[in-house]
Amino acid sequence: MIFNIQEILDFLPHRYPFLLVDRVVEFERAKRLVALKNVTINEPFFQGHFPGYPIMPGVLVVEAMAQAGGMIMMAEMEDRHSKLVVFTGIERAKFRRPVTPGDQLRIEVEVLSFRTRAGRIQGRATVDGKLACEAVLTCQVVPRQRPSRPDGAENADAVAMPSHSAAAAESTE
C-alpha cells in the first residue's frame, strides 16, 4: 500500500517544517512501513547545521523514523484524530553516515511490540542502500487534547506527556 502526502497528513499531526515523511512506499498493517524523505537544501535546519557543510541533524533522522512508526500505530486507531503518538524512549541509536541535501532518506520501521497505548519499533534509515542511522524507539499514545491547569486557567504551553515509568510498564504488558 502506498500513501501520498495528502494521505500522510491524515495520519500525522506534523506540518511543515516538522513533517519528515514525504511518501509511504510499503505498508503492512501493524507490522512494517517504508517511507521516503526527500532532503533538500531548502530545509530550515540547514541554515545553521552547518553553514558551508550542511548535514541533516541526526535527531531529525530519528524523528523521521518515529513519524513513520507513528503512522503504523495511528493506522490501527479509529479515533486517531483525537490521539497523538509521542516518544518515550530511544535505544541503541547509531549514526553511520551523514545525510545531506539531495539525498533521499529511505526510512524502514518494523514493529517489535504493539499495544493499544504503547509501541516499540526498530528503525533504519538508509541513503542509496547505505545505512545512515538505526535505533529502537518506544512511544505512547496520549489524548491530543491539552490537559487543563490545576487552577482552571488555560495553559497554552501544556502538553500531555507520559512519564517514562508509565511507558515502560505499558511496553512490558
Cell of 109: 520501521
The torsion angle over the Cα atoms of residues 6, 12, 15 and 18, rounded to 10 degrees, is -130
84, β-bridge pairs: 142
Do the Cβ atoms of 73 and 114 come closer than 8 Å? yes
Cα gap 125→109, rounded to integer Å: 9
The fold for domain 5-171 equals Thiol Ester Dehydrase; Chain A (3.10.129)
| pLDDT value for 152 | 67
Q: What is the CA radius of gyration of the chain?
A: 16
Helix (H) or strand (E) segment spanning residue 59: helix 58-75
Residue 50: asked if its preceding bond is cis (omega within 30°), the reply is yes
57 residue type, one letter: P
Phi, psi of 19 (to 5 degrees): -80, 120
Taking 70 as the pLDDT cut, the residues of the chain under it are 152-173
Inter-CA distances, 166 with 29, 76, 98, 148, Å: 26, 21, 34, 20
> 3-class SS at 142?
strand
Which of the following is catalytic: 14, 49, 81, 164?
49
| pLDDT value for 150 | 77
DSSP classification of residue 117:
S
| pLDDT value for 156 | 52
Write down the domain spans for the chain: 5-171
| pLDDT value for 145 | 84
Task: Answer yes or no: 49 catalytic.
Answer: yes
